[in-house]
Amino acid sequence: MIALTEVKERWDGLGAPERRRGGELSLAGRILHLAEQTVLASASRDRRGVLAELRRRAGGHLDPDLVDAFAADPEPVWSVLDEPDLLAAVVRAEPGLPTVIRPDERDHLCTAMAVVVDLKGRYLLGHSAHVAQLADAAAELAAIPGPERATLRAAALLHDIGRAGVSSAVWDRPGALGPGDWERVRLHSYWTDRILRRCPSLADLAEIAAGHHERLDGSGYHRGVRVHDLSPSARLLAAADVFAAMTEERPHRPAHKPSEAAAHLSAEAAAGRLDRDACAAVVEAAGLRPARTEYPCGLTEREVDVLRLAARGLSNRQIAAELVLSERTVGHHLAHIYDKTGRRTRAGAAVFAMEHALLPG
């Protein structure tokens, strides 16, 4: 963890945040600097050019003794850079017995990885921990069992690990993003999925973590899945991520007030994009009282859910499948809707829904 705090430091003391210099830097930190500059130089230079660039930085950015040691025998490093699968090469190079992450150690590992990825942007610091704290508290309120809650917390810590695959210039850009940058942003959840699935001890987190931008109506990304493919944990994480992001400053806007974030979650739930129960749990976890929506004619929230689907022309069987109810229960809800609204047909109920702005916009 010490080396993580030194990623922006320099051998000559002109780095940040503590302006450490020379031997004040840990050996791990100095090796990390050399490895980083080697990889960056290799992207645009041949091997002779890489060594020239490292020597140029020796005594400034880099420890000159480490540069000399590397230059004296660079072949082991070149062989690693030539590997088609660097992750596998790193694992093979680990000295001694392979490290195995025990379940009771996973949260610590995820926290460390979250710290690393949050360094990707100046406005992202602390975001992953913020989301994890909200999701964990919301899971407790939602009575999610302990093992599932622990998995959700770990997934929340790593939900944005895929940001590492997108340039910091994108995350820190103060103005509007162009179409190309938006496509890069939309890929970060894909990279989260790929990174976690490559790690056996973290692979079970991939589906939840990579689903934080999915929406119940299929309008999210990167898979565009719908309600039935999103677990309760994934729905909680999506709501927690929205709330946390809104209440944090971003390069293009100041932080929103928690009450504004809560109102936004309520609107997203009403529009059928976020799960209503998950949003309520997140808002309550944030210390706010969840807003209670009053519907016309005394309709309940579940009746409004049924009404919206019936207005779209879905059959009782299709509504039951969409809301995970029995057809008999859907029939009861429709009967209550007809009684309360005074409409006796689906067409009439659809008109009622439009008249009272109950359909998603």
Question: pLDDT at position 82, please?
Answer: 83
CA distances from residue 286 to 132, 141, 159, 236 in whole angstroms, order as listed: 12, 11, 19, 13
Q: Mean pLDDT in the chain?
A: 90
Q: CATH 1.10.10.10: which residues of the chain?
A: 296-355
Whether the pLDDT of residue 65 is over 90: the answer is yes
Whether the pLDDT of residue 120 is over 90: the answer is no
Q: Which fold has domain 296-355?
A: Arc Repressor Mutant, subunit A (1.10.10)
Per residue in 61-74, is it b (16+ CB within 10 Å) or e — as a string?
bbbeebbeebeeeb
Q: CATH 1.10.3210.10: which residues of the chain?
A: 3-93, 104-285
Which pLDDT tens digit goes with each residue over 12-51? 999 887 888 999 999 999 999 999 999 999 989 999 999 9
Whether the pLDDT of residue 1 is over 60: the answer is no
Rounded to whole angstroms, the Cα distance separating 155 from 219 reads 22
φ and ψ at 62, to 5 degrees? -115, 150
CB 235 within 8 A of CB 155: no
φ and ψ at 264, to 5 degrees? -65, -45
Cis peptide before 76 (omega within 30 of 0): no
Rounded to whole angstroms, the Cα distance separating 167 from 292 reads 41
CATH of 3-93, one of 3.40.630.40, 1.10.3210.10, 1.20.1070.10, 2.60.40.10: 1.10.3210.10
Q: What is the DSSP letter of 222?
A: S
Q: Which fold has domain 104-285?
A: Hypothetical protein af1432 (1.10.3210)
**Token pair of 234 as six digits:** 């994934």
Question: pLDDT at position 162, please?
Answer: 96
Per-residue pLDDT band at 223 (split at 50, 70, 90): very high
Q: Which residues contact 21 (CB under 8 A, 6 or more apart)?
A: 9, 10, 11, 12, 13
Per-residue pLDDT band at 344 (split at 50, 70, 90): confident
Question: pLDDT at position 361, please?
Answer: 45
Question: pLDDT at position 353, please?
Answer: 87
